[in-house]
Structure 1
Amino acid sequence: MKVIGVGFGRTGTYSLKLALEELGYGPCDHMYEVAEHPPRIRQWLDIIEDRSADWDGLFAGYNAAVDWPTAAYWRELAEHYPEAKLVLTVRDPQRWYESTQATIFKRSPLTRPLTWLAERQSPDLRSFLAMDRKSVQERVFDRTLHDRDHLISVYKRHIAEVQAEIPPERLLTYEVGQGWKPLCEFLEVPQPETEFPRRNRRGDFSQESNKHIQKLLASR
């Protein structure tokens, strides 16, 4: 593991994933990547539920990891991979909160019976939702996903704790809108001539997320 993204979801983590892969740090893990590989969902659950601490097995074949669940275990990963560099993606807290409510924490349009039916149809989807609930909703946000003050407080505390605990030479606090330059300088790699990837914006989220949910439903 060479690079660990420790920023919360909706801070440009998918763009960072694509950027790191373009810089030669691929494959890079991300919540979407986990959804694409159901056995890894179960590996994450083994760690989340304290049945395993096999980080090397979980990340076998990966050179980088960003987004959740990774960011929820940043301390453990920073300690386990002491040579890895850490990238803390950030954005304006109010805009981050608003983005979460429109995307990852948006209230589900599914009724409770339909949700139950979907989970029953697909063990992989059931495991994925359990992984997300336990690692993010419970571990990070204490099951409180719609209270503005609470979420922003957790978000700011996370940034402060990462910056306080990780040596500055090992950490880049980064906004993806800054583009290639600060990221490439931090990683000491040449800057590409291509445009910095900007993906998974708010308007694209539902389509991208639904694609992965449909794959999990189809894997029953």
Structure 2
Amino acid sequence: MASVSDGELLVIGAGFGRTGTLSLKAALDMLGYRTYHMKEVASNRGHDEAWRAAARDQMAGRPTDWRAMFGPGGYTATVDWPSARFYKELLAAYPGAKVVLSVRESFDTWYESVSESIYPSSMTGLQVRPPPWLAPWFSNYTSHYSMVDEVIWTGTFDGRFEDRNFARQVYEAHIAEVKRVVPPAQLLVFSARQGWAPLCAFLGRQQPSPDTPFPHVNDKADFNQGLGARQRRARLYNNIILASNAALAAALAAGVGLAVRVLRGHRRRVD
């Protein structure tokens, strides 16, 4: 088996976000993998733009250098968005990898979870739109939410996530396509509620001791604890932008007023 330092993907998560992907990441890490997840994007400089480039490559039919994405960090597994959108390309690049399709009990359960967590969080982040002269100070923040929108809300759901019936079609079509594309021997359809047994059997890994529970993290309550902080941050950023724009407008007005007074004084002296 490849070591962590090899950076060869051994496990590809094809499940959408909010299907227990953070619990799956925690479980894979406990089994010895180094697992990429949306949370890893922030700790890898340049990855927001790299994922946006991957989305454009996908649309244009161009290849993406996945080893440049995962190799430097030594990742041997990836789950969650953004990588779940690219499971076909990843499987082509790592044909020996196993694919885990994480799912919820039903579409409705998943949709309600997303609608009360990552979707409003993303919409809050997208509201921060600094003017060009302030953009460099907000680039990390705005770049992340632009990537999330390009890969997920616009790129996957065509800007129509709030249309529940359309979102259902996308969700169910994705699951059906994963099952169609991935060879059965390389695919596990998995719910975190199933625990260790099916995951370990599929991956050929020894199951942790009976007193080690399967991790269950980042449920809706956990996520929403941080949602308020993210919303407050967005409001703070927007207040800074408004105050900065007001200060700039005042400075420009003062400058124009001073210029007018200087010109008037000059004209009087000339007259």
Q: Normalized against structure 2, the TM-score is what?
A: 0.72
1:160-199 correspondence runs (5 A): 160-193=176-209, 194-199=212-217
How far apart are 1:36 and its partner, in Å?
Answer: 2.5
CA RMSD of aligned residues (A): 2.5
How far apart are 1:164 and its partner, in Å?
Answer: 1.0
Structure 2, unaligned runs of 5 or more: 1-8, 238-271
Q: Which residue does the alignment assign to 1:202? A: 220
Q: Which residue does the alignment assign to 1:85? A: 98
Q: Which residue does the alignment assign to 1:69? A: 82
1:1-220 correspondence runs (5 A): 1-26=9-34, 28-50=35-57, 53-60=64-71, 61-91=74-104, 92-106=106-120, 110=124, 115-117=128-130, 120=135, 121-193=137-209, 194-208=212-226
How far apart are 1:150 and its partner, in Å?
Answer: 1.0
Higher relative contact order (CA 8 A, sep 6+): 1
Aligned residues: 213
Conservation of the 8 A alpha-carbon contact between 2:11 and 2:77 = yes
Deviations 1:39-95 (A, max 9, x none): 222222232233871111001111000000111111111111101100000111110
Letter in 2 for 1:133: D
Conservation of the 8 A alpha-carbon contact between 2:10 and 2:98 = yes
Letter in 2 for 1:201: D
How far apart are 1:104 and its partner, in Å?
Answer: 1.1
Deviations 1:159-190 (A, max 9, x none): 01100111110000000110000000000111
In the alignment, the residues of structure 1 paired with residue 64 and residue 123 of structure 2 have an alpha-carbon distance, to the nearest angstrom, of 35
In the alignment, the residues of structure 1 paired with residue 151 and residue 130 of structure 2 have an alpha-carbon distance, to the nearest angstrom, of 23
Deviations 1:103-122 (A, max 9, x none): 1112778598x621499332
Q: Which has the larger radius of gyration?
A: 2
Assess, with a 3 A threshold, how the Cα gap between structure 1 residues 34 and 212 changes in structure 2: closer, same or farther. farther
- Aligned-pair identity in percent equals 41
